[in-house]
C-alpha cells in the first residue's frame, strides 16, 4: 500500500481532514527499536504498549483500556520497520472493540460505548488552564485532581524531565489529557477501570511517569495554581551559582540536608535549579552528617556548612556546575575524573544516547537507558572526564552526577573500579560501572 493510500485510509478511518492530520503527524517516520534494541511488538492494547508506540513514533496518543476479554484472536504485530501511517493502521485493526479517533493531533483508542457515554468520568468539565514550563509530574497530579484525587503540590519523583506549556481552553478531562500529551509530544495517557475497587475505581496514567487511582468524580473545585512551576527565590546580588537562595522542597517543606550525601545534592539542586556533582571517598570512609537547615540561605552558606560537618571534602564552583569532591581528589593528577577525553558535540540528542556515549568514554560498552523527554545539545572541546560530565548536567539543567568506588567483588574482577551515576533532580538515577 502506498503512502497516499495509507493517509487516505487513516483519514476515512479517523474522520478528520487531511491537512490537520498531516500538520500534526510525520506519517513517513519509520518506527525503530527500543532502547534495548528490541523490536516493538504489539501483543495487547494497553497503556504500556501505547506509551512505547507514542515515544518511538513521536505521536501523542491515548487509550481507555477496554474491560473484559476480546472475542477476537490477536496475533502479535511487529511495528518496527513500519512507517507511522502503517503502524496506526495496524493498531486500529488490532482489536475490534476499539475505535481510533484523531483529536487535534492526538490519536485516541476507546470503545464505542465509552465515546458515546455522556456521564463518563472523562467527559466531566474542566475550566481553562494555562500552566507554562511544567513537567508531566505536575500535569498528572492536576489531571488526577479533576478525577477526584486529593489536591497536592509536587513531591513526585517522576522521571521524564521535559518541560512544556499546558494551554487548554475550557473543555473536558479528555481534552485535558489530550492537551497534556500533545504539548509534550512523545507520551501517551491511559485510563482504566479497577473493578472491584469501590473507593478508587479508575487509574489514570501518563507514560514514562506513573499513575494514580482515582474516584472518577471531582470532589471539590480544583486549585490549578497548585500545579504551576514555582519561581525560584529572588537571586542574590551576585551572578554566581553559589549565591542563589535555597528555596523549599517541591511540596513546600523546608530543605534540610545532612552533609556530603547524594540526597543533599538532589534537594539543593531541586531548590536552586543548579546542576551539581559529587565524588565520594571510599566505602571505608563514610560521609559524616548532621542536620543543616538550608531554606532561605545562600547555596554558598549551605555548602560551607556541609564542608564544616565533613572537612575531608571541598566544594568548587565550575562553569555552570557546583562540584563536591574529596579535598585530596582535587589535587590528584591521576584522578579518574582528570582522564582526557576527545571533543564531543551533540545536537538535540536523547539523554539515553548522550549518557551512553559518555559511558563508552569511561569504559562501559553497553547502552545506558535514561528517562525520556529532554534532549541535550553541547559542544565540548577536548578536556577531562570531569569537564564532559559537567557539560552533560549543565546542558540538561536538572541533573546531578555521583561517583563512588565499586564494592561488588564480581564487578571488580572484571576490571571496573567505580560506579558513575547520573540523577534527575528529585527523582530517577541510572548508574554504570566505570574502569
pLDDT in tens, 103-139: 999 999 999 999 999 999 999 999 999 999 888 888 9
Least confident of 159-173, 264-278, 281-295: 159-173
Instruction: Report the C-alpha gap between 214 and 344 in whole angstroms.
Output: 46
Q: How many CB atoms lie within 10 A of CB 261?
A: 20
Q: Which helix (H) or strand (E) holds 90?
A: helix 84-94
C-alpha span between 170 and 129 (Å, rounded) = 7
CA angle centred on 202, ends 201 and 206, rounded to 5°: 160
Tell me the pLDDT band of 70, cut-offs 50, 70 and 90: low
At residue 65 the predicted structure's pLDDT band, cuts being 50, 70 and 90, is very high
Q: How far apart are CA 55 and CA 185, in angstroms?
A: 8
pLDDT tens digits for 219-278? Answer: 889 999 888 877 655 555 557 899 999 998 877 889 999 999 988 998 999 889 899 999
CA 327 to chain centre: 34
**Residue spans of beta strands (DSSP E) within 261-417:** 276-279, 292-293, 313-318, 321-326, 340-341, 344-350, 375-380, 383-384, 399-405
Cβ–Cβ under 8 Å, residues 150 and 213? no
What sign has the CA pseudo-torsion 390, 398, 268, 266?
A: negative
Residue 368 has pLDDT above 90, yes or no: no
Question: How far apart, in whole angstroms, are the C-alpha atoms of residue 435 and residue 385?
Answer: 12
Q: Going along 252-320, which residue ranges are E strands?
A: 256-257, 276-279, 292-293, 313-318
Rounded to an integer, what distance in angstroms lies between the CA atom of residue 299 and that of residue 207?
Answer: 34
Q: Choose among 353, 49, 335: nearest CA to 190.
A: 49
Q: What is the pLDDT of residues 291-311, one digit of tens each?
A: 999 999 999 999 999 999 999
The per-residue pLDDT for 234 is 59
Q: Give domain limits for the chain.
A: 3-227, 333-435
Instruction: Work out the burial of residue 322: count CB atoms within 10 Å of its CB; fewer than 13 is exposed, 13-18 middle, 19 or more buried.
Output: buried
Confidence band, pLDDT 50/70/90 cuts, at residue 365: confident
155: region left, alpha or beta (phi > 0 left; psi from -120 to 50 alpha): left
36-48 per-position pLDDT tens digit: 788 999 999 999 9
Residue 181's nearest CA partner among 118, 120, 108, 125 is: 108
What is the C-alpha end-to-end distance of the chain, expressed in Å? Answer: 51
Distance of CA 175 to the CA centre of its chain: 22
Q: Which three cell numbers stand for residue 286?
A: 563514610
Distance (Å, rounded) from C-alpha 58 to C-alpha 55? 5
Q: Are 106 and 50 in contact (CB under 8 A)?
A: no
3-state helix, strand, coil in the chain (%, to 5): 30, 25, 45
Residue 266: exposed, middle, or buried by beta-carbon count in 10 A (0-12, 13-18, 19+)?
Answer: buried
Q: What are the CA-CA distances from residue 258 to residues 197, 403, 431 (Å)?
A: 41, 18, 23
Amino acid at each position: 500500500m502506498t503512502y497516499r493510500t495509507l493517509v487516505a485510509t487513516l483519514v476515512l478511518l479517523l474522520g478528520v481532514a487531511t491537512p490537520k492530520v498531516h500538520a500534526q503527524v510525520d506519517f513517513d517516520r519509520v518506527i525503530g527499536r527500543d532502547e534495548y534494541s528490541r523490536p516493538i511488538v504489539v501483543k495487547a492494547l494497553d497503556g504500556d504498549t501505547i506509551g512505547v508506540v507514542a515515544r518511538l513514533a513521536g505521536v501523542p496518543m491515548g487509550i481507555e483500556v477496554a474491560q473484559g476479554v476480546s472475542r477476537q484472536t490477536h496475533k502479535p504485530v511487529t511495528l518496527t520497520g513500519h512507517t507511522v501511517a502503517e503502524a496506526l493502521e495496524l493498531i486500529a485493526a488490532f482489536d475490534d472493540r476499539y475505535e481510533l479517533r484523531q483529536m487535534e493531533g492526538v490519536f485516541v483508542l476507546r470503545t464505542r460505548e465509552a465515546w458515546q457515554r455522556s456521564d463518563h468520568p472523562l467527559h466531566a468539565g474542566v475550566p481553562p488552564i494555562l500552566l507554562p514550563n511544567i513537567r508531566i509530574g505536575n500535569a498528572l497530579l492536576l489531571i488526577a485532581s479533576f478525577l477526584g484525587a486529593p489536591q497536592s503540590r509536587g513531591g513526585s519523583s517522576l522521571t521524564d524531565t521535559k518541560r512544556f506549556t499546558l494551554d487548554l481552553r475550557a473543555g473536558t478531562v479528555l481534552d485535558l489529557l489530550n492537551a497534556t500529551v500533545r504539548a509534550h509530544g512523545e507520551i501517551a495517557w491511559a485510563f482504566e477501570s479497577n473493578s472491584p475497587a469501590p473507593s478508587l475505581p479508575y487509574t489514570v496514567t501518563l507514560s514514562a511517569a506513573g499513575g494514580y487511582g482515582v474516584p472518577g468524580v471531582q470532589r471539590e473545585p480544583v486549585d490549578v495554581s497548585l500545579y504551576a512551576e514555582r519561581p525560584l527565590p529572588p537571586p542574590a546580588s551576585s551572578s554566581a551559582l553559589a549565591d542563589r537562595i535555597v528555596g523549599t522542597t517541591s511540596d513546600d517543606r523546608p530543605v534540610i540536608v545532612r552533609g556530603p550525601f547524594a540526597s543533599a545534592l538532589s534537594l539543593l539542586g531541586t531548590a536552586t535549579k543548579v546542576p551539581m556533582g559529587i565524588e565520594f571517598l571510599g566505602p571505608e570512609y563514610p560521609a559524616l552528617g548532621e542536620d543543616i537547615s538550608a531554606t532561605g540561605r545562600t547555596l554558598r552558606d549551605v555548602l560551607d556548612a556541609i564542608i564544616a560537618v565533613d572537612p575531608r571534602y571541598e566544594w568548587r564552583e565550575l562553569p555552570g556546575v557546583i562540584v563536591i569532591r574529596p579535598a585530596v581528589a582535587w589535587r590528584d593528577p591521576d584522578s579518574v575524573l582528570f582522564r582526557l577525553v576527545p571533543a564531543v558535540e551533540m545536537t538535540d540528542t536523547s539523554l539515553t544516547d548522550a549518557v551512553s556515549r559518555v559511558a563508552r568514554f569511561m569504559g562501559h560498552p553497553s547502552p545506558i537507558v535514561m528517562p525520556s523527554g529532554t534532549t541535550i545539545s553541547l559542544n565540548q572541546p577536548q578536556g577531562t572526564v570531569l569537564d564532559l560530565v559537567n557539560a552533560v548536567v549543565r546542558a540538561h539543567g536538572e541533573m546531578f552526577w555521583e561517583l563512588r568506588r565499586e564494592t561488588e567483588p564480581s564487578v571488580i574482577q572484571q576490571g571496573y573500579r567505580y560506579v558513575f551515576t547520573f540523577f534527575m533532580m528529585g527523582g530517577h538515577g541510572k548508574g554504570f560501572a566505570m574502569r
